[in-house]
Amino acid sequence: MARPEILFPLFANAITLPGIGPKSAQALERLGIGKVVDLLFHIPHGLIDRRQRDSLVGIDPGEVVTVAVIIGQHRRGRSETQPYRVVVEGGGLLFEVVYFRAKADWIERLLPQGERRVISGKVEFFDGRLQMTHPELVLTEADAKTMAPFEPVYPLTQGLAQRQLRKAVTGALGKAPDMPEWLRKDMLEQKAWPSWTDALRQIHEPQGAQTLAPGAPARARLAYDELLSHQLALMLARASMQRGKGQGNAGDGELRKRAATAFGFPPTGAQAKALEQIEADMRSALRMLRLLQGDVGSGKTWVALMALLIAVEAGGQGALMAPTEILARQHAKGLEPLAEAAGVAITLLTGRDKGAARREKLAAIAEGGTGIVIGTHALFQSSVAFHDLRLAVIDEQHRFGVRQRMELTAKAPAGCDVLVMTATPIPRTLALAGYGDLDISVLDEKPPGRQPIETRLISTERYLDVVERLGQAIARGDRAYWVCPLVEESDRSAMIAAEDRFRDLQTRFGAAAALVHGQMPPDEKDAAMARFQSGEAQILVATTVIEVGVDVPEATIMVIEQAEMFGLAQLHQLRGRVGRGAGRSSCLLMFSPPLGATARARLEMMRETEDGFRIAEEDLRLRGAGDVLGTAQSGLPRFKIADLERDTGLMEAARDDARLVMHSDPTLRGERGKALKTLLYLMDRDASIQLLKIG
Ligand code: ADP
Ligand code: MG
């Protein structure tokens, strides 16, 4: 389906608007505004009150005031550089209007002595007297009557003036057609929301500060439109991904029983519940698209193994994809004994497998000789052909957006069930925004017997104390991680920092120190990890490579340098590398003073709690949504009007609404469905439109 005709004027280039030429169009581009519709969604961030005042007595300097005045004497400056002053009387005061470097005859025409004018501008005190320098507006009383009482103020960029932008927005408003109503009537009535066009008018022609308040009906409606279109797009994407599985994957539980016995611990309640949900999804003829969300150490691997075994019990294969090679190896190593107990062969396939060994593995995967395949993303990209892949488990993929996930799912053979696992606890609104296309299981309970981790903040100025205590710990046989930050998002600088730190610790502790970072050749990386795992090395200096999932239960100390540079979720991940064994663990967050208030609050939050969900909520509050998941890669949509932190209620409502639509009119053919399609086009939810054949 092509874009509905009714939207054509809105998708015209902004340059077609009054006041916008090639230069200002370029400036608009910098604000992300290319089309008329973008301008409509460019919401004012404030307004100027232009209502006339009767009295200026007690006015605060810096305020913008509008007042009718009688124009008095003109006082020219004695030289070019001196200001031109005009005495006026208004608002119960005598004060001066001041001009610098202005032509006298122009001012004489603008402010003729003895006449009345309405002037508007910022007032200040100079030498204890009120004055207004360069009024923004000078109007006759007749013109002043037609002036808008409130003037919207827009975010600007260089090369664009407020007045210009306002003019363009007014032009854009004139092009806004009456849309078919895509919201439910009962909802509009209950919330007293205006129509789409009226909402835009209210926002751009505000009638007071309350029009722009977060809870104002106009803003709420536009935010809801945005959230609804997003949720609907996700669900349409989901529906298209879910089609065509054909067969259900059910097993007799025999393999699972054997693996569980070998594991030796009963599952936690949360693990059992998540597995039940997965089992039901896999048994269904619709493709499973599920997110397993569980804090560090909540036991996601067990759930993944059981799901993989269901695939094998059903007569097929399961694949587990890890984000790094280290993790793929670790998964393989950890799962091997359990799979073996179940009598299921595991194959580890990474980019490092070459030649005959690789061919042999590929053959085993293609012929079905192996039940479980573990690897990195290369699993679904290269020449790997599965005999009968029934389930793809994607571990730790919180860095992947919806689109990447869809691509992955598309690469997995048609109909294969998909389980995405993330160790980043995500506040529910973010989960809905970023993962609304998935069902969600939560592991909100940890296996018993965990010791709390003692977390301390310490200034880098006390580096030598830290090293000394580290020395004592090592002498007792403890093992420690030492994490260096990622400076400026560059792997290279992180590597340099880590190498420097490593050299220093090596001088002090010799072979007890090992180094691992992302730029190392794979063999060296493995060797370092192995030395740390075996205890031959007791200090592992690392970049955030170790963030995701490394499991060395004997490690009990985590030192993080420049902790203030990390996100809370990341710190939480890193801290989760310790406290995995029987020993008491500690985490040292080193910071470079002075710490700002927010930075301190964030680090103190880490000290206060180990609850990943609480930390995530706090991170969201302190940093905003984009940063919590790492903006670019997070897959989080960038909303123009909605605010994920504030509009949680609207988000939930939009979710339910979209669900109902999908239930009653999944192809959007009904009356409301058609209107919703217009909304999808309007909001440029291209994922839903390009990827789905909903026309
Ligand atoms: P995650 O991947 O969620 O961070 P893991 O799957 O690595 O967590 O599990 C963390 C640790 O808890 C592992 O050592 C694992 O063997 C152990 N574990 C998992 N489930 C249980 C359970 N039900 N009872 C006891 N220990 C468990
Ligand atoms: Mg894990």
Atom number, ligand 1, closest to the C-alpha of residue 267: 23
Q: What digits encode the pLDDT tens for the residues 270-296? A: 999 999 999 999 999 888 989 898 887
Residues contacting ligand 1 via CB (< 6 Å)? 265, 267-268, 271, 294, 296-302, 423, 447, 551, 580
- Give the pLDDT confidence score for residue 544 in this predicted structure: 77
Cβ atoms of 173 and 200 closer than 8 Å:
yes
Distance 553 CA to ligand 1 centre (A): 11
Tell me which ligand sits closest to the C-alpha of residue 443. 1
Q: Which of 261, 275, 302 has the most ligand 1 atoms within 8 A of CB, as the residue to mutate?
A: 302
Tell the residue nearest (CA) to atom 20 of ligand 1.
299
Distance 443 CA to ligand 2 centre (A): 12
Distance 294 CA to ligand 2 centre (A): 9
What separation in angstroms does the CA of 186 have from each of 14, 183, 189, 458? 35, 9, 5, 56
* Residue of 567, 566, 548 lying closest to 618 (CA atoms): 567
The token pair at 458 is 């310490």
Q: Which amino acid is at 500?
A: D
User: How many other C-beta atoms are found inside a 10 Å radius of the C-beta of residue 282?
Assistant: 24
Distance of CA 251 to the CA centre of its chain: 38
Tell me which ligand sits closest to the C-alpha of residue 327. 2
Q: What digits encode the pLDDT tens for the residues 87-132? A: 999 999 999 999 998 888 999 999 999 999 999 999 998 888 899 9
- Give the pLDDT confidence score for residue 634 in this predicted structure: 45
Q: Which of 551, 574, 577, 613 has the most ligand 1 atoms within 8 A of CB, as the residue to mutate?
A: 551
The token pair at 438 is 């998935």
Tell me which ligand sits closest to the C-alpha of residue 551. 1
Tell me which ligand sits closest to the C-alpha of residue 306. 1
Tell the residue nearest (CA) to atom 17 of ligand 1.
299
Helix (H) / strand (E) containing 647: none
Distance 394 CA to ligand 2 centre (A): 11
Cβ atoms of 321 and 392 closer than 8 Å:
yes
Distance 580 CA to ligand 1 centre (A): 9
Rounded CA-CA distance 637/629 in Å is 11
Report DSSP letters for 206-262, one per residue: -SSGGGGSTT-HHHHHHHHHHHHHHHHHHHHHHHHHHTT--S-----SHHHHHHHHH
Which residues of the chain register pLDDT less than 70? 1, 244, 381-382, 396-414, 486-495, 545-549, 623-637, 685-695
Q: Are strands 137-139 and 116-126 parallel, antiparallel or unpaired?
A: antiparallel
Rounded CA-CA distance 5/331 in Å is 53
Cβ atoms of 394 and 420 closer than 8 Å:
yes
- Give the pLDDT confidence score for residue 695 in this predicted structure: 41
* Residue of 412, 411, 421 lying closest to 304 (CA atoms): 421
- Give the pLDDT confidence score for residue 633 in this predicted structure: 42
Rounded CA-CA distance 495/487 in Å is 9
- Give the pLDDT confidence score for residue 256 in this predicted structure: 97
Tell me which ligand sits closest to the C-alpha of residue 576. 1
Q: What are phi and psi of 13, to 5 degrees?
A: -65, 145
Distance 296 CA to ligand 2 centre (A): 7
* Residue of 81, 537, 436 lying closest to 232 (CA atoms): 436
Taking the CA of residue 420 as centre, how many other CA atoms within 13 Å lie in the half-sphere pointing to its CB?
25
Tell the residue nearest (CA) to atom 10 of ligand 1.
297
Tell the residue nearest (CA) to atom 19 of ligand 1.
299
Tell the residue nearest (CA) to atom 9 of ligand 1.
299
Rounded CA-CA distance 282/250 in Å is 7
Q: Which residues surround ligand 2, an ion (CB under 5 A)?
A: 549
pTM of the model: 0.72
Distance 351 CA to ligand 1 centre (A): 27
Distance 70 CA to ligand 2 centre (A): 76
- Give the pLDDT confidence score for residue 65 in this predicted structure: 95
